[in-house]
Structure 1
Amino acid sequence: MITIRKAKLRDYSTLMELEIDPSQETFVSGFGDLYKNRAPEQDFYVVNEGKELLGFFVIDKAFDKKFTFAEKNELGLRNLVIGKQYQGKGYGTLAMKRLLVYVYGAYSDSSSICLTVNKKNIHAYRCYEKAGFIDTDTFYFGGDAGPQHIMRKKIS
């Protein structure tokens, strides 16, 4: 069973060793880089199956203050990584479905969750779509790897 939870200090060494698929390296950062550049408004989460750490992602509580396309009180989902050896098994989609249930209680002041996904990152786009995120039909052009779809899901 796939679960998500806030990352704990004891998880960090495993997360640092998590391999990113080479096809995804353009679109995401490894845990070490993210952690080194973390901000107080970022919450790090892990994706588990039992005791096995499969991946991680970041919830940005100040997303609406950083991006003009973000709605008021909107959370940002950033940098979903599923380890190379775990990809292609639906773990990303399951984790995102769990996340949508989790944020309802954990971030009750938030109205929605938003993300950007590179136009070239078709696998990630499909993952988010399967989890219920809706493409806003607008693009964010500030990413290092080119235009990104803006996707959003209401928290209800």
Structure 2
Amino acid sequence: MTTRLVPLSAHHEAALLALTLPPEQRPFTTHPADLLPDLRGDPQRRGVTILDGDEVAGLFALSSGPHCEKCLSEPDPHAVAVSSLSIDTSRQGRGVGTAAMRQLPSLVPSLFPEARRVVLVVNQRNPAARRVYEKAGFTVTGERQGPVGAQWVMTLALAWPPGPGSA
């Protein structure tokens, strides 16, 4: 099936609320039921639904401002953060997460025109997530302490200026 990223809409919410996560991933991400209320009304955060074919497969948030700065050692107005990536248990291990993250360079400029890089943090006890991000082009650019232990800071540079088709 084809993986696509689309802006979160109310049409996706029921499927996102039914999404399941393996118990071992719960410390490292936020279930959509807990993320959706945080996204509403926050102009610096955008929910992105991951579709596998026409079916909802997952969700993540893209953030600027203070939400992004939690990933950085100093503020960067040209950075956008990925957080709370959740892929339904039934779709894991099939390349859905990697395919979604590979689409960020074409999606991010349309939502955050000033973005020149995408950043994220991955708990060091979650090597499977790190592999997903590395396959999508992210590189480890630092380390930090997070709420559940040591984290890798990862960065993906975006082409600047954005190319045709990215807006």
The alignment's TM-score, normalised by the length of structure 2, stands at 0.86
Percentage of matched positions with identical amino acids = 27
CA contact 1:4–1:46 (8 Å) conserved in 2: yes
| Post-superposition offset of 1:129 | 0.3
1:129 aligns with 2:130: no
CA contact 1:64–1:73 (8 Å) conserved in 2: no
Query: How do 1:37-52 and structure 2 match up within 5 A?
Result: 37-38=38-39, 39-52=42-55
CA contact 1:64–1:72 (8 Å) conserved in 2: no
Task: Please tell me the residue identity of whatever aligns with 2:90.
Answer: Q
SS of match in other structure, 1:48: strand
Q: Which residue of 2 is the match for residue 34 of structure 1?
A: 35
Task: Please tell me the residue identity of whatever aligns with 1:91.
Answer: V
SS of match in other structure, 1:29: coil
How far, CA to CA, are the matches of 1:113 and 1:19 in structure 2? 26
Moved more, 99-108 or 121-130: 99-108
How far, CA to CA, are the matches of 1:68 and 1:85 in structure 2? 33
Change (3 A) 1:18 1:64: closer
CA contact 1:5–1:46 (8 Å) conserved in 2: yes
Task: Please tell me the residue identity of whatever aligns with 2:83.
Answer: R
C-alpha RMSD of matched pairs (Å):
1.5
Displaced runs of 4+ in structure 1, greater than 3 A? Answer: 63-68
Query: How do 1:3-152 and structure 2 match up within 5 A?
Result: 3-38=4-39, 39-62=42-65, 63-69=67-73, 71-136=76-141, 138-141=142-145, 143-152=146-155
Q: Deviations over 1:83-117 (max 9, x none)?
A: 00110011100000012222133322111110000
The alignment's TM-score, normalised by the length of structure 1, stands at 0.92
SS of match in other structure, 1:37: helix
May I ask how many residue pairs the two structures share in their alignment?
154
Q: Deviations over 1:20-49 (max 9, x none)?
A: 111211101111111223333110011112
List runs of 5+ in structure 1 lacking aligned partners: none
CA contact 1:82–1:92 (8 Å) conserved in 2: yes
List runs of 5+ in structure 2 lacking aligned partners: 160-167
SS of match in other structure, 2:103: helix
